[in-house]
Amino acid sequence: MSEIIHSVGVTTSSFFQDMQHFTFLSETLVSDLKAGASLGRTRQVRLWSAACSTGEEAYSIAISLLEGFRDASSSDEAIYQPDGWQIEVIASDVDPAMLAIAEERIYNQDALAAIPEEGKKRYFLRGRGEMTGRARVKKGVADLVHFHRIDLEARVWPVEGPFDVIFFRNMLTDFEQATQELLLRRMLRYLSPHGYLILGHAESVSWLRDAVLPAGKTIYQLRPHGTAKYAGSERRTQRRRQPKPES
């Protein structure tokens, strides 16, 4: 059964599915984090892949952040703590077999189709001999990703926030709407202020609009107390000004 799951999982999943979500990480999120660091905030970023399956999503998240922080003029080698940034990706799934595949970090070359050749060289080892046609995620990337078995329907989640971003993509149809709302509102409590929730490209949560703001295609930002205000094409939030006391 493990071999069947491995074969199906690796061939039907791929790295960087729904590329716009990973572009958002490497561009908008990294830009915001750098701006925060310039104001004295810690150089740390934490994300949660809440239904990581065989791991492609979690490793794609880590690689997106590394590329976003990487100086374009630097060498072709990967830098796993770019400019002192601490990157942590928590990846969870309920299926131990899926987690075992993810921790093995070996995939068919076809799963890497969306990655440019220089990215493959930077973050993957190409298989040879009997492993021809396979690739393995490099240890430096794997060290940024920590896998846990978490049943999202359990009363207790063995995970600690806050997270800057939570990925929970293409899973909502597995649940009735009441359970969907329960899970998502619970996840929002694990986000940092103004953190982001990213769902699958076909998933709509209009009933969650009191808690989040749209920040891109199926990307939602935690709604702050007060009115949201935007500047430019990126999403920004600002608390409502309190009325001045009457004299």
pLDDT tens profile 94-153: 999 999 999 999 999 999 999 999 999 999 999 999 999 999 999 999 999 999 999 999
How far apart CA 208 and CA 80 sit, in angstroms, is 36
41 phi, psi to nearest 5 deg: -75, 160
In this structure, the strands spanning 106-108 and 212-216 are unpaired
- Residue the block writes with tokens 């969306």: 114
pLDDT band with cut points at 50, 70 and 90 for residue 5: very low
Q: CA 191, 207, 22: angle at the middle one, nearest 5?
A: 45
pLDDT band with cut points at 50, 70 and 90 for residue 13: confident
Domains, the chain, with CATH or none: 18-103+139-222 (3.40.50.150)
pLDDT band with cut points at 50, 70 and 90 for residue 47: very high
